[in-house]
């Protein structure tokens, strides 16, 4: 076994030096356990947040870093952003059953901390009672918290005590009184409504219906929606638009509530977008640092992660291909020094510590949206996503001279 590993390393080094096309760490990672790497990174990201917040000490111990061009909104939004954005990504993983593996022990610990943190988040007597009013941003991260419950209700919502549940319902209803901007923000109000629908609480059907119709009106073809009336070349189709649009329609279908857009149509559009996102991963496992909110790092791949976990990948790609691509990007990004501060919290940056890249509305709590790449951890370790042999992703195949499927636009209007 060891000699085979040495042979593999020798071949890899020869290829690296002769071709000099891919970094050595990208070529070598396939010999490692991809899931173990994802688990370790997710735990590294989550533990400082949840261990502190479970004790009501997040405000006390988390150093907050604001964009150099901070727009002077209420600075307390940082803690709500940290918690909501972390949980919306790791929720499916925490929903897996307990076991005696090292991963299982880490997962159980995080879940226990998370449940205590959820309680503190809405307890007015807790030092970590979140900012539920006084800032428009509250609507955004209330939505991410609601979405975390949507993604793992049995593990994260049902175990909460009656008082805590009532507090969340009250806070969610108050958050929905915030008028959203005329862009992806309309989905934040509606994902909260969808959660209330899911748990059989009072919801606003007109709001859900109008949001779906408006987002559908903003579809411009080939897998892309505009973000409001105007198009923006950024990753908001992945950060928010496709995932929330699909999940809202999905919940409406489960509750037998009419949606003006069919789930299969929304999914076909997201799958076309997935094909493009996978092709944007370069042979060296980098991807374009473009558009707003680039400091959300791996959050750019939420649609791929969501599809792998819940809805299935496009027929044009395999589990081994997508897992290898995402793991390679993850390894490249997080092998750079500076992604975490001395206390273990995420910093401002895209690859490492790069505060100058942060938009005026971004603090280091905002960047926990990178956790949404971890959605496939909600699949058990024996799922094909984790056990399938690693395969090269599309751009890597092309730059190696291989023949791949040609790419064509798709209208997907109906």
Indicate if 339 and 363 belong to the same structural domain: yes
d(CA 106, CA 39): 9
Q: What is the CATH number of the domain that holds 112?
A: 1.50.10
Domain-located, residue 408: no
Domain-located, residue 404: no
Domain-located, residue 279: yes
pLDDT tens for 137-196 read: 999 999 999 999 999 999 999 999 999 999 999 999 999 999 999 999 999 999 999 999
pTM above 0.85, yes or no: yes
Q: What is the CA radius of gyration of the chain?
A: 21
Please give the angle made by the CA atoms of 130, 136 and 139, to the nearest 5 degrees.
65
pLDDT for res 32: 60
d(CA 378, CA 87): 13
Structure tokens of 282? Answer: 């370069």
Domain-located, residue 405: no
Give me the residues paired with residue 340 across strands: 346
Domain-located, residue 410: no
d(CA 254, CA 259): 11
Average pLDDT over residues 2-19: 39
Domain-located, residue 322: yes
Indicate if 110 and 77 belong to the same structural domain: yes
Number of domains in the chain: 2
pLDDT tens for 95-140 read: 999 999 999 999 999 999 999 999 999 999 999 999 999 899 999 9
Domain-located, residue 60: yes
* DSSP letter string, 290-323: -STTGGGGGGGGHHHHHIIIII---TTS-HHHHH
Indicate if 177 and 316 belong to the same structural domain: yes
Beta strand 219-221 pairing with 224-225: antiparallel
Indicate if 361 and 227 belong to the same structural domain: yes
* Domain carrying residue 147: 34-399
């Amino acid at each position: 076994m060891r000699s085979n590993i040495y042979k593999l390393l020798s071949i890899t080094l020869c290829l690296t030096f002769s071709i000099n096309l891919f970094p050595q760490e990208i070529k070598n990672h396939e010999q490692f356990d991809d899931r173990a790497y994802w688990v370790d990174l997710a735990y590294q990201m989550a533990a400082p947040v949840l261990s502190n917040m479970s004790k009501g000490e997040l405000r006390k111990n988390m150093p907050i870093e604001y964009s150099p061009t901070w727009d002077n909104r209420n600075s307390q939004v940082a803690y709500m952003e940290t918690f909501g954005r972390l949980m919306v990504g790791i929720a499916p993983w925490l929903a897996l059953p307990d076991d005696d593996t090292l991963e299982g022990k880490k997962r159980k610990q995080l879940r226990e901390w998370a449940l205590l943190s959820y309680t503190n988040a809405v307890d007015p007597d807790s030092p970590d009672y979140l900012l539920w009013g006084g800032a428009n941003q509250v609507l955004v991260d209330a939505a991410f918290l609601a979405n975390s419950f949507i993604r793992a209700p049995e593990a994260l919502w049902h175990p909460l005590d009656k008082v805590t549940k009532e507090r969340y319902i009250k806070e969610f209803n108050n958050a929905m009184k915030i008028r959203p901007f005329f862009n992806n923000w309309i989905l934040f109000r509606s994902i909260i409504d969808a959660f209330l629908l899911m748990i059989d609480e009072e919801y606003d059907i007109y709001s859900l219906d109008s949001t779906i119709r408006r987002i559908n009106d903003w579809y411009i073809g080939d897998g892309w929606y505009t973000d409001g009336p105007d198009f923006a070349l950024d990753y908001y189709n992945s950060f928010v638009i496709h995932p929330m649009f699909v999940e809202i329609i999905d919940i409406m279908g489960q509750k037998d509530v009419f949606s003006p857009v069919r789930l299969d149509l929304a999914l076909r559009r997201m799958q076309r977008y997935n094909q493009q996102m996978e092709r944007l991963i370069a042979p060296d496992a980098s991807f374009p640092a473009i558009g707003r909110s680039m400091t959300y790092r791996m959050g750019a791949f939420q649609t791929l992660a969501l599809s792998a976990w819940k809805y299935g990948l496009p027929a044009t790609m395999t589990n081994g291909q997508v897992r290898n691509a995402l793991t390679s990007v993850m390894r490249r990004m997080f092998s750079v020094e500076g992604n975490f501060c001395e206390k273990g919290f995420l910093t401002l940056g895209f690859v490492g510590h790069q505060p100058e890249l942060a938009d005026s509305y971004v603090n280091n709590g905002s960047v926990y949206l990178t956790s949404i790449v971890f959605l496939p951890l909600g699949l058990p370790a024996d799922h094909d996503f984790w056990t399938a042999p690693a395969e090269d992703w599309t751009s890597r195949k092309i730059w190696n001279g291989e023949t791949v499927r040609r790419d064509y636009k798709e209208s997907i209007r109906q």
